[in-house]
Structure 1
Amino acid sequence: MAQDLEAAYGLDTPDDNIALYRDWAQTYDAAFAEDMDYVLPMHVAQAYRDGGGTGPVIDLGAGTGLCGAALRTLGIAPVTATDLSQEMLSVAEGKGIYDRIFTGNLLERLPVDDGAFAGAVSSGTFTHGHVGPEALPEVLRVIRPGSIAVLSVNAAHWVDKGYDAAISALAGTAEASWTEVPIYGASAKGEHAKDLSRILTLKRIPV
């Protein structure tokens, strides 16, 4: 598990992501999420609910469906999933969480109409070697005016990748707020056990 987590933090390209998560998909939930007490998906889902988020919602970088499951637990549906890794999505599909699943790259244009969803969530995707703030306009494109997107952003990644400047550039397009939460629960062990994430809420401004 520790080796896979370090590999995830060290990713550089979409091809690197595809290769890692292809090999990790079948063991991700047990060997990572359970072992590390991965509480971030529930933090994201709760922030979405508390912000007034409703369905239909798109789960960006859905992986094996941990955030989608949290949304369902909170009574939020329908939920669509997209991820770069088909192998991770195949695991999610087996859980019966999502109403629709498709592969997609947030760093490109998703095969989704403008304003197709009443909101968006993302847990664990805006982090080292994955997706950066350059994807924020695409996130806003796929949600309706007046709706929200709730995204987890690794706290160290926030500084390294210049999220403050990127969010400032969205002035007139979105209103932003954030809080900071632990990524892992009390039983987590290892170098990353105390890592933090910022839960970024973007509200798309009607024009």
Structure 2
Amino acid sequence: MIDLNAAFALTGPEDCARLYAEWAASYDTGFADSLDYRLPAHVAAAFLAHGGTGPVLDVGAGTGLLAGHLRDMGFAGEIDAVDLSPAMLDAARAKGLYRTLRQADITRPLSFDGPYGGIVSSGTFTHGHVGPEAIAQLETQAAPGALFVLSVNEGVYRAMGFDAALAQRPGVTLLVVQIYGPAAAEKDPDHAAQRGLIAIWRHGGDGVAG
């Protein structure tokens, strides 16, 4: 398993692409299963609990963990994937979860197959990864009233300015969740207690329904 400290120390897109190319083959078993990684399930559940509909853009889709949970929870709508890593997208493609898969840097201008009724993300807004500047780019792909459900690692929420960015979006609701389950306490005690903030809001609206 790749050390999470290496993932949290990434410094740019090239660094990310290199690490995730190495990690893609073992990500689901060596990381997600081993540490009881619960964040994708939390995001999927929040999206459905707030009346999320498709088509959905899964941001930083990785190997498709979030989309897999959406499908397991009964979501039958169209889901598109975007990720910086071609290797992670190849792993996701094999699962047959997505309508389309695109390799892209979400901090740069985007042109996808939207507009999307839902934009979701798990694990992308964290240490060494993507900052709040990407939110404005994602909003260009959102339909009016689209439901955003994005996880933000609690450790970067204020340090990277997510608090200020989300304060500019009306009606944001925050849920606090544990990122990992009990298995992480033994296998990675340095990170086991980390929490995520799930930010939920309607694009161009004044709150969330459901």
TM-score range, shorter chain: over 0.9
User: How does 1:1-207 map onto structure 2 within 5 Å?
Assistant: 1=1, 3-76=2-75, 77-112=77-112, 116-170=115-169, 174-189=170-185, 190=188, 191-205=190-204
How far off its partner does 1:202 sit? 2.4
TM-score normalised per structure 2? 0.92
Q: Aligned with 1:161: secondary structure?
A: coil
- Secondary structure of 1:160's counterpart equals coil
Instruction: Return the letter of the residue paired with 1:49.
Output: L
Displacement of 1:4 in angstroms is 2.9
Equivalent residue of 1:90, what SS? helix
Deviation, 1:64, is 0.3
In structure 2, stretches of 5+ residues that fail to align are 206-210
Paired residue total: 202
Could you tell me how far apart the structure 2 residues matched to 1:62 and 1:82 are? 6
Give the Cα–Cα distance (whole angstroms) in 2 for the partners of residues 165 and 62 of structure 1. Answer: 25
**Structure 2 letter corresponding to 1:181:** V
Q: Deviations over 1:130-153 (max 9, x none)?
A: 111111111222111112110000
Q: TM-score scaled by structure 1?
A: 0.93
Shift of 1:62: 0.1
- Name the stretch that deviates more: 88-97 or 102-111: 102-111
The question of whether the paired residues in 2 share the 8 Å contact of 1:84 and 1:103 is answered with yes
How far apart are the structure 2 equivalents of 1:44 and 1:27? 22
Secondary structure of the corresponding residue to residue 69 of structure 2:
helix
Identity across aligned pairs (percent)?
A: 44
Please give the alpha-carbon distance, in whole angstroms, between the structure 2 residues aligned to 1:85 and 1:128.
Answer: 17
* Post-superposition CA distance 1:108-151 (Å, at most 9, x none): 012226x5111110000000111111111112221111121100
Distance 1:148 1:140 in 2: 10
The whole-number CA distance in structure 2 between the counterparts of 1:152 and 1:187 is 21
Segments ≥4 residues shifted beyond 3 Å: none
Q: Aligned partners of 1:68 and 1:15: how far apart in 2?
A: 25
One-letter amino acid matched to 2:52? G
Q: State how far apart, in whole Å, the 2-side matches of 1:192 and 1:106 are.
A: 26
Is the partner of 2:184 in helix, strand or coil?
coil
Give the Cα–Cα distance (whole angstroms) in 2 for the partners of residues 65 and 98 of structure 1.
9
Worse-matched range after superposition: 3-12 or 57-66: 3-12
